[in-house]
Chains A and B, each alone.
Chain A
């Protein structure tokens, strides 16, 4: 087993401790961007149900993504206007690939 043995500084309640800190520890958390709709799973786009410039409300179906043997309805998480449609019907998408962006 590899041994990490370098002491770094770690602040807990304003006290600075010298201790081992794993490299995975320093990933900063960033808030999710709700305007950015990415594929939560790889799959195939079956149908795009919106277009650039359309106004959408919460829950409107934006597109259908075929993945895990299911037609998954991708819905608008917030109300807004469609700024970008990055995919078209029949297109295969990777996980986390941008599908639609709202403004």
Chain B
């Protein structure tokens, strides 16, 4: 064979492999409103930065006529590339090739690029679009999933792992995204479930559509399995890029530092309403503190009574955790605790400082909450804040009552600095509830109980509904007005070091799960 014909042969092979499952399958994929796996990789990476590996990998399965079937790249594209000029490892399952089904070679390609991410210490991006296990390969596909889960776990807290769900992701396959740090979903394209609608229909007789069971909205609002919701794949990729801009490549590296920039609109002293029972949007406060008012929410549509996300203070990434008075008065409940705890642990794993903003009336009362295990779930918040060794700065804006005060990164859980506004109310509970308990007998014995109640509420309020009691005991370090908050926060982070609990000899703690 001449060199020329060898090169021609090579060219033809590559061309065929690039077609994935072929023109018809590619058309079908596009008709579903989806990009092809190769288009996705190109869209998400900096142009011409992709270095593909294992394009020529083939399966070695022989059962059920598989020996006669060639599967381009065995249904997955793997390699390395750059996003904003920073290296990442990436894989994209190709639904046009045998439904993106996972066989041994397919899994081996993913495993190889995961190991690459682990040793090079760069983020891993997985694009999931797969019908599930390749049934013809039997137990080999289960082996494949297991190997992937093992690496998801091993590299957890070492490199950021992002999963983009751009098609079906069902059965065991969902556990890889579940083990990663952030899950991105797209309207009408993403579907995630352990058992699909058909099985549910057969076993339980319950009729449910794939969208309702495990679509993008469901997972970003009801189950909390996904963190970022987008209308289109392109929007989803922009979210991925924006998120990565806040993150370090690995746990040993600092997040990228940008030039410090003031908020677009500075905080004014009347940012929160006079009446402490009135709601406001805490994201307005966050945007008044952080660089460029640039705040990227994580889990924006789930457990909206707590807001978490990434921003920068003086150019450095911070993770923001804030009660949202606009939703359920900013109470802590099962879902809010889970949401915040997971976020705090991510930040701590990757050396991202924590900024906590407090305005919460406490834990949500109710049989539902107690039965759902608010004790166990609420404990996650306490655990993750206490455990975190990154700089932790807390701003108490208004209500900080009872157990929720402790949980929201109080001095007692190891905050580096606790800052409070003059509007702060740090107390064991709200004035109404406290007065009703403390002065119960006097109120009952009064000729005019309601007047006495109001007078006693006022008395309690005057005495305790302020930051001064806590400040007098050193539980609050710094009192300041809202308009000076940003400057104080910058200084507080500047002087806060990493903590050392002195327990590095232990294997790991035992967070209540």
Which residues of A pack against B, CB within 8 Å?
Answer: 1, 7, 10, 12-22, 25, 27, 29, 41-42, 67-68, 94-95
**What residues on A are CB-neighbors of B205 within 8 Å?**
42, 94-95
- Establish whether residues A15 and B431, one from each chain, have CB atoms under 8 Å apart when the complex forms: yes
| B324 nearest CB across to chain A (Å) | 9
Q: Among B277, B367, B432, which residue has its beta carbon within 8 angstroms of that of A29? A: B367
Q: Among A1, A12, A13, which residue has its beta carbon within 8 angstroms of that of B221? A: A1
What is the bound-complex CA distance between A16 and B361, given in angstroms?
A: 10
- Establish whether residues B366 and A29, one from each chain, have CB atoms under 8 Å apart when the complex forms: yes
Q: Could you say which interface size class chain B belongs to?
A: 35 or more
Q: Among A20, A27, A42, A67, which residue has its beta carbon within 8 angstroms of that of B279? A: A20
Q: Among B204, B366, B433, which residue has its beta carbon within 8 angstroms of that of A14? A: B433
What is the bound-complex CA distance between A18 and B368, given in angstroms?
A: 22
**What residues on B are CB-neighbors of A18 within 8 Å?**
277-279
What is the bound-complex CA distance between A41 and B205, given in angstroms?
A: 9
| A43 nearest CB across to chain B (Å) | 9
Closest 3 CB pairs of A and B: A13-B433, A17-B329, A14-B432
**What residues on A are CB-neighbors of B300 within 8 Å?**
1
Seed contacts A12-B329, A19-B325, A67-B203; 19 additional CB < 8 Å A-B pairs: A1-B217, A1-B221, A1-B300, A1-B301, A12-B430, A13-B430, A15-B277, A15-B361, A15-B430, A15-B431, A17-B361, A18-B277, A19-B326, A20-B327, A20-B328, A21-B328, A27-B368, A29-B366, A29-B368
| B37 nearest CB across to chain A (Å) | 28
Residue B365 interfacial (CB < 8 Å): yes
What are 20 A-to-B residue pairs whose CB atoms are below 8 Å?
A1-B217, A1-B300, A12-B329, A12-B364, A13-B401, A13-B432, A14-B433, A15-B277, A15-B361, A15-B433, A17-B329, A19-B328, A19-B329, A20-B304, A29-B366, A29-B368, A42-B203, A68-B203, A95-B204, A95-B205
**What residues on B are CB-neighbors of A17 within 8 Å?**
277, 279, 325, 329, 361
- Establish whether residues A15 and B279, one from each chain, have CB atoms under 8 Å apart when the complex forms: no
What is the bound-complex CA distance between A27 and B204, given in angstroms?
A: 24
Q: Among B203, B229, B327, B429, which residue has its beta carbon within 8 angstroms of that of A13? A: B429
**What residues on A are CB-neighbors of B204 within 8 Å?**
41-42, 95
| B333 nearest CB across to chain A (Å) | 10
Residue B156 interfacial (CB < 8 Å): no
- Establish whether residues B361 and A13, one from each chain, have CB atoms under 8 Å apart when the complex forms: yes
**What residues on A are CB-neighbors of B365 within 8 Å?**
12-13
What is the bound-complex CA distance between A16 and B429, given in angstroms?
A: 13
| A22 nearest CB across to chain B (Å) | 8
Q: Among B203, B229, B279, B330, which residue has its beta carbon within 8 angstroms of that of A1? A: B229
- Establish whether residues A20 and B326, one from each chain, have CB atoms under 8 Å apart when the complex forms: yes
**What residues on B are CB-neighbors of A16 within 8 Å?**
277
Closest to B206 in A: A95
| B406 nearest CB across to chain A (Å) | 16
| B62 nearest CB across to chain A (Å) | 32
Closest to A5 in B: B326
**What residues on B are CB-neighbors of A95 within 8 Å?**
204-206
Residue B321 interfacial (CB < 8 Å): no
**What residues on B are CB-neighbors of A41 within 8 Å?**
203-204
Residue B351 interfacial (CB < 8 Å): no
Residues 361-383 (chain B) with a chain A CB within 8 angstroms: 361-362, 364-368
What is the bound-complex CA distance between A19 and B217, given in angstroms?
A: 23
- Establish whether residues A13 and B362, one from each chain, have CB atoms under 8 Å apart when the complex forms: yes
What is the bound-complex CA distance between A89 and B364, given in angstroms?
A: 46
Closest to A41 in B: B204
| B503 nearest CB across to chain A (Å) | 36
Residue B232 interfacial (CB < 8 Å): no
**What residues on B are CB-neighbors of A27 within 8 Å?**
368
**What residues on A are CB-neighbors of B301 within 8 Å?**
1
| A93 nearest CB across to chain B (Å) | 10
| B428 nearest CB across to chain A (Å) | 10
Residue B436 interfacial (CB < 8 Å): yes
Residue B170 interfacial (CB < 8 Å): no
What is the bound-complex CA distance between A94 and B206, given in angstroms?
A: 9
What is the bound-complex CA distance between A17 and B324, given in angstroms?
A: 12
